[in-house]
Structure 1
Amino acid sequence: MQIIEITVPIQIPDNLIVIEKNLYKQLQENQEQGEWWTLEDVLKRVKVSRKTFSEKILNNHKYRKQLESFVHYPSRKGGKYYFLASETKKFLETNFKSITNGISGGNHD
C-alpha cells in the first residue's frame, strides 16, 4: 500500500482565527474571572425560585461558611447579594448532587 501526503492550503478569513481546543476551553473558563453576578443572574442559571434558592442554598448552614468566601450577603433587609461568578459556577457544579437532593423531589419551582 502506498501513502500519498497532500498539502492543501486553506484560506482563513481575516475575521476568524484557529486556536487549540484546550486554549479555547481555558478562555471560556476565564471569561467569568472577576465578573460579579446578582441573585437574579444566579437564579436564571439554576432555574429555581428565589425562595427555594435562599432556603436550600444561601441560608443553609451546610453551605453558608463556604459561600461567604465568594458571596456578599446583604447587610440589611432588601439589600443586594453579589456573587463572584467563577467561584459560584464552580460551587454549583461541584455541589450539584447535594443541592438538587435538597430540593424536594426535584421540584424546581
Structure 2
Amino acid sequence: MIPPKTKHLIKEVLVIQHFEITVPIQLPKNLIIIEVNEYQELKKSMKLGVWWSMEDVLKRICISRKTFTEKILSNQQFQKELESFVHFPKSRGEKYYFLASKTTEFLETRFKEIMKTM
C-alpha cells in the first residue's frame, strides 16, 4: 500500500508495446487460402450456365409463387428485361426456367424497385 503522503508524487505511466510475431500455420491439405474477390468471382461463376426452376427461385427469395408471378414476372416494368433470361411457359403444363446468374443479378440490382411492387 502507498502511504497517503506520497500518493500525489506517483504518476501513472501508460506504456504501449507493439510486437510483430511470425507464426507458421500449416493448413490441412484439403484447405487453401484465397483472396475475397477471387472467392466472390468463383461463387459467381458457379451460377453460369445453371438453370433454375420456379421452385429454385422461390426458395431463394421467400415469397409465394402467386406474389412472384403477379408482382414480378407479369409486371410490365420488368417484362422486357426478364425475357432475356427467363423462359416463360407458352402452353399449359410447360415450366418456367431461369438463368441462375442473370436472375441473381436482377434480384440484387432491382431489389428496391421489386420491393415497391409488394
Superposition TM-score tier, normalisation by shorter sequence? 0.7 to 0.9
Cα RMSD for the two superposed structures: 1.7
Which letter maps to 1:56? Answer: K
**Higher alpha-carbon Rg:** 2
Give how far 1:18 is off.
1.1
Q: In the aligned structure 1, how far is the partner of 2:20 from the partner of 2:59? A: 51
Which residue pairs with 2:42 in the alignment? 27
Moved over 2 A (4+): 2-8
Q: In the aligned structure 2, how far is the partner of 1:25 from the partner of 1:77? A: 39
Which residue pairs with 2:62 in the alignment? 47
- TM-score normalised by L of structure 2: 0.79
How many pairs are equivalent? 103
Give how far 1:78 is off.
2.4
Give how far 1:98 is off.
0.9
- Residue of structure 1 aligned with 2:72, choices 57, 60, 73: 57
Determine whether 1:16 maps to 2:47. no
Q: Which runs of 5+ in 2 are unaligned?
A: 1-16
Greater relative contact order (CA < 8 Å, ≥ 6 in sequence): 1
Secondary structure, in 3 states, of the residue corresponding to 1:18? coil
- TM-score normalised by L of structure 1: 0.85
Which letter maps to 1:30? Answer: S
Q: Deviations over 1:44-70 (max 9, x none)?
A: 111111111111111111111110000
Which residue pairs with 1:79 in the alignment? 94
